[in-house]
Amino acid sequence: MQQLAETSILNRLAADEVNLCSAARLEQRSSTRLIDADLTVQKLRPHFPHLGIVRLAEVTGLDRIGIPVWMAVRPNSKTLAVSQGKGITTAHARASAVMEAAEIAIAENIPLASVRASRQDLLQAGRTVFDGRMLVMKGADEPAPELIDEWLEGYDLLRNRTVFVPRELVSLDFTSARKARHYCQSTDGLASGNCLLEAVIHGLCERVERDATELWRFKRDSAVHAQCVDPAVFPDAGIRWLADRISGAGFLLRLFDIRSDIGLPVFMATINPVSRKGTYLHFDLSAGYGCHLSPRVAAMRAITEAAQTRITNISGARDDFDPSEYAQRLAPDLGVYIRAEPRAHWHFDEPEPSEPARLDAYLDPLRNRGIGSAVVVPLGGEAYGMSVCRVLINELESPAGIRKHRFGGRALNAMLLQ
């Protein structure tokens, strides 16, 4: 078995951190990026045919709120044919849609060679193998230890060692032609960026966000009310503009601080009509989530995602929509978000401009809570001027899927505490 370059990923991340810290600016309206949103799209546009992207469309006008939302279409996708992006500006929303479409396209056809070996062979050779039991599909089992499988090389950022991860686990293929069916495939922790560190930070934030969202589901109504935040506590012109667009269109914005014990800022935003004749329907309430080292950026992500959710519901563009959902009544337990009133005691401190570009700023909260492993698997994309990765953190909770094990230890503890 060939000798692996143990520090190659760390070297890339260290170089990226220097560049990202240099690019950080106080006036940035979104998260730190190596290059701006318009240039990101310009660089990727020549590669659209290879990525299967045939159309970009602005869909902001489908809703009367006016928060920018774009979509990117890939008709031959192995997953969903439509990716959507949101942002504080048209440029951010367009880049968001393009990057999401591109990262999924790369995960569907990972342009990296696999290591063919059995789990048993890797362990006997002294290699570390990812524990995929929490991501096994319902009705399936992990491959037998002696079964020859395909593996990709990842790196555990907390244990500082190379980890082999089953290729099937980080690939995306929802078609009937999928070769193996051991692991539940999803986009949870899948992320992209102009460099590997951008992608890793986005992936880490998404995993922390998804964990917080799952734990939040067990909160009592009184706890939900207590975490309702007035968006006006943020001295930010972008958040004020978002709130004004929503209220001016006749909708109610509610923002909730849902961070978990990990400590990274996580927000949930909901949008619903101010008044509704009769019973609220399922799609009358839309929600969005956001996580980032900057509370301001996390809140902005949650609000723009809630607006994107509305347009997704209006357009019906998602392949996995059930048309019957449009006639469903809003679940009674979700009424708490409509009834919640903001509390006035909130104050959020912002990090220094370069701090969100530092990898340890996202890893230290995990270390401090005893999380022992955070594996990043680079998936390619450099040929297109971008980087795609998948972040896997077994000890954090994952969103509902078709996994054999629905809840992990953190969710079970949250249930017991209610």
CATH number (domain holding residue 282): 3.30.160.660
Question: For residue 3, is pLDDT > 70?
Answer: no
Neighbours of 241 (CB within 10 A): 13
Look at residue 342 and tell me if it is in a domain.
yes
* pLDDT tops 50 at residue 192: yes
Q: How many domains, the chain?
A: 1
Provide CB contacts within 8 A for 376, sequence distance 6+.
9, 154, 155, 157, 200, 203, 389, 390, 391, 392
Range of the domain at 223: 209-360
Question: Is position 315 within any domain?
Answer: yes
Tell me the mean pLDDT in the region 124-149.
95
Give the pLDDT band (50/70/90) at residue 4: very low
Is position 316 within any domain?
A: yes
Distance CA 69, CA 90 (A): 7
Would you say residue 276 has pLDDT above 80?
A: no
Of 225-229, 262-266, 322-326, 396-400, least confident by mean pLDDT is 322-326
Q: How much is the average pLDDT of 239-246?
A: 98
In a domain, 322, yes or no: yes
User: Which of 78-87, 176-185, 273-282 comes out lowest in average pLDDT?
Assistant: 273-282
Q: Is the pLDDT of residue 178 over 60?
A: yes
Exposed/middle/buried for 409, CB within 10 Å: 0-12, 13-18, 19+? exposed
Tell me the pLDDT band of 377, cut-offs 50, 70 and 90. Answer: very high
State yes or no: pLDDT of 1 exceeds 90.
no
CB neighbours of 61 closer than 8 A, spacing ≥ 6?
none
Residue 116 lies in a domain: no
Q: Please report whether residue 236 resides in a domain.
A: yes
If DSSP codes are grouped into helix, strand and coil, which group holds residue 298?
helix
Does some domain include residue 274? yes
Angle, in degrees to the nearest 10, between helices 8-23 and 196-216: 90
125 is a domain residue: no
pLDDT over 50 at 2, yes or no: no
